[in-house]
Structure 1
Amino acid sequence: MSRVAIGALLATFVAFSAHAMSAQIDTDGDGKASLVELQTVFPELSEDLFLEIDTNADGFVDDEEMMIAVETEMIPDIETDA
């Protein structure tokens, strides 16, 4: 395997892990965050804000929704604010 291919593969793993749900939030390890899980880390999070973050209305916040919520400053980034 070429060095370029190995570098691309490693970059993919790093990019994936940077956007994966934090274990500090996803305490049950299902890859999604419930309102209760998010309120454990963000006690000020209201149900209304949770519903705003949960754009697909499935009752959970996934990696993409979490990333958007952090980027739009709906919630702080616990990785940089910790």
Structure 2
Amino acid sequence: MSRVTIGALLATFVAFSAHAMSAEIDTDGDGKATLVELQAAFPEITEDLFLEIDTNADGFVNDEEMMIAVETEMIPDIETDA
């Protein structure tokens, strides 16, 4: 593997972990957020917005979906806006 590839891979992991589900959101520690958990952290989240964030439609928001929601400004970054 080239140094550039390794660097890009490491940057991806660092960026992903920066938006990993925080304990403030994932109150039960299962690595996913329900609508209720998200609404506790972000009261403005509606059921429709939750369904938009939950791209795989499994009823939970995982780390990847959370990262996308923060990057697209669907929800604020709890790390920087709290």
- TM-score tier, shorter chain, comes to 0.7 to 0.9
TM-score norm. by structure 2 comes to: 0.80
Aligned CA RMSD, in angstroms, stands at 2.9
Structure number with the bigger relative contact order (C-alpha 8 A, sep ≥ 6) is 2
Contact kept, 8 Å, 2:54 with 2:65, in 1: the verdict is: yes
Contact kept, 8 Å, 2:16 with 2:67, in 1: the verdict is: no
Question: Aligned residues: percent identity?
Answer: 90
Q: Secondary structure at the match of 1:36?
A: helix
Which residue does the alignment assign to 2:68? 68
Structure 1 residue runs of 5 or longer lacking an equivalent are: none
Q: Deviating runs (4+, > 4 A) in structure 1?
A: 1-16
Greater Rg over alpha carbons, structure: 1
Number of matched pairs? 82
**1:27-48 deviation per Cα after TM superposition (whole angstroms, max 9, x unaligned):** 0000000000000000010000
Structure 2 residue runs of 5 or longer lacking an equivalent are: none
